Chain A
C-alpha cells in the first residue's frame, strides 16, 4: 500500500536558518505529492504540491521537488521566520487525482523557530 515517511522532530532552528524537512514515499503508479501546514488550534492548510516527476512546488518561500528516482519530496526554505513554527505534513494521493481519493499522510514534523 501507499505510505509516507517523514522526520518527526521537533526540529528547532534559529530565525533565518535554512530548513530541510525530509519526506520519502512508497506508492504504486504516479502519485501527486503535497505539503500541508498546521498551525496551533487550526486545520491543515495546503502549502504546495507537485503532480509529476521533476515538478517543483513552491509557496511563501517554501519549495519541494518531486524526485521519482529517490521517491522523495523534501521541503526546503532558505530563511525561516518565527511565524513558520507549525507542524508540517507530507502527503500523497494515488494516481493523478482523477477521482475523489483520500490522502495518505506522514506523521508530521513539528518545527520550532526561535528568535
Chain B
C-alpha cells in the first residue's frame, strides 16, 4: 500500500450504532488530520494530530471521538450520530514544516 488509505470506503449506520473509521498513512509523516466534506459546504477541518497528540479540535461534537495510537494510524470513533452527519470523511497526513497535506480516498458515511 502507498499513500494514505481509508477503510471502509462506504458505511451506512443507524443513529444508535457505534462504528469506527480507520486511516493509515505510508508516507512517514508525523501529523494527521480529519476533514468533513458535505454537499454545498467547504471542507471542514475536524481534528489535527501532531506526533500522536491532538493539537486542534475544531468545535466538533463529542459524538465524534478521534484516536491516534501511533504516527501511522488515525481513527474516528462514531456514536449516536445524526442524519446531518452524513458526509465524506477525509483523512490527510503531512510532515510538520512541509505544509502539503496528502489525502486518502475518504469514507462515504450515511446515517439513517
Does B81 sit within 8 A of A, measured CB to CB?
no
Contact with B along A64-102 (1 / 0, CB 8 A): 000000000000000000000000010001001111111
A43 B105 Cβ-Cβ under 8 A: yes
Number of residues on chain A facing chain B (CB within 8 A): 27
CB neighbours (8 Å) of B31 from chain A are: 100
**How far, in angstroms, from A93 to B106 measured CA to CA in the complex?**
21
Does B102 sit within 8 A of A, measured CB to CB?
yes
Q: Which of B12-20, B49-57, B72-80 contacts A (4 or more CB under 8 A)?
A: B49-57
B104 A93 Cβ-Cβ under 8 A: no
B99 A49 Cβ-Cβ under 8 A: yes
**How far, in angstroms, from A106 to B44 measured CA to CA in the complex?**
10
Number of residues on chain B facing chain A (CB within 8 A): 31
A102 B99 Cβ-Cβ under 8 A: no
- Would you list which residues of chain B between 4 and 49 have a CB under 8 Å from chain A? 4, 6, 30-31, 33, 35, 40-43, 45, 48-49
Given A43-B104, A102-B58, A97-B98 contact (CB < 8 Å): yes
- B43: min CB distance to chain A, Å: 4
- B27: min CB distance to chain A, Å: 12
**How far, in angstroms, from A110 to B41 measured CA to CA in the complex?**
13
Does B100 sit within 8 A of A, measured CB to CB?
yes
Q: State the B residues within 8 Å of A (CB).
A: 4, 6, 30-31, 33, 35, 40-43, 45, 48-50, 55-56, 58, 90, 92, 94, 96-106
7 closest Cβ pairs, A-B complex: A97-B99, A102-B45, A100-B31, A100-B50, A43-B103, A44-B103, A105-B43
Q: State the A residues within 8 Å of B (CB).
A: 4, 32, 34, 36, 41-46, 49, 51, 89, 93, 96-108
